[in-house]
Amino acid sequence: MREAIALARANIDAGGRPFGAVLVRDGEVIARAVNRIHETGDPTAHAELLAIREAARALGSPRLDGCVIYASGHPCPMCLAAMHLCGIEAVYYAYSNEEGEPYGLSTAAVYAQMARPPQQQSLPVRILMPDGEAGLYEAWQHGRG
C-alpha cells in the first residue's frame, strides 16, 4: 500500500491525479501504474485499469485470478467492474470516497447511479436491436470451435 501511495504522490509532482495502484500475485509485484488521464486525455486511464492491462500482458492472460490490487484511492465503478471481470481476488485502498469528496475525487455519485435499475439511471441505457439482426453470439460460439 505504501508503494501505491508513493506512486500517487509522485504522480502529483508529474502533474497528474493522486492515484497509484500496485497489482500483486503470490507476494510478487506484477504491475504498477498511476493515473495517466493528464498525459493521454483518455478518461479510462485510471491507475487500476492500467495496472490490470500491464499485468494481463505480463502474465499473458486476461484472467488475473489470485491477484490483489493495492490502490491509493477507492476504486471507481469502472475499475471495480474490471476487477470483477478479470478475477481479481481482493482490493485494498487507502483513501476513501468521503476523503476525496472535498477535492472532487469521489465517485460516490457514480456508485449511487449504478445502484439504480438501468431504466432509472441518469444515463439512458436502452435496447435497440435492428430488424433482421440475430445470431451474433451464436456466431461467436460456433467460431470458437
Q: How far apart are CA 43 and CA 134, in angstroms?
A: 33
Q: How far is CA 114 from the centre of its chain?
A: 15
Does residue 36 contact residue 16 with C-beta atoms inside 8 Å? yes
Does residue 91 contact residue 112 with C-beta atoms inside 8 Å? no
Closest CA to 39 of 20, 16, 19: 16
Q: Strands, DSSP E only, in 27-125?
A: 28-34, 67-73, 90-95
pLDDT band at residue 145 using 50, 70 and 90 as cut-offs? low
Q: Percentage of the chain with pLDDT > 90? A: 92
Cell of 8: 500517487
pLDDT band at residue 125 using 50, 70 and 90 as cut-offs? confident
**DSSP structural state of residue 110:** H
Q: Which of 3, 28, 39, 48 is catalytic?
A: 48
Query: 48 an active-site residue?
Result: yes
> How many Cβ atoms from other residues are within 10 Å of residue 111's Cβ?
14
Closest CA to 23 of 46, 60, 55: 55
Look at residue 49 and tell me whether its pLDDT is greater than 70. Answer: yes
pTM, two decimals, is 0.92
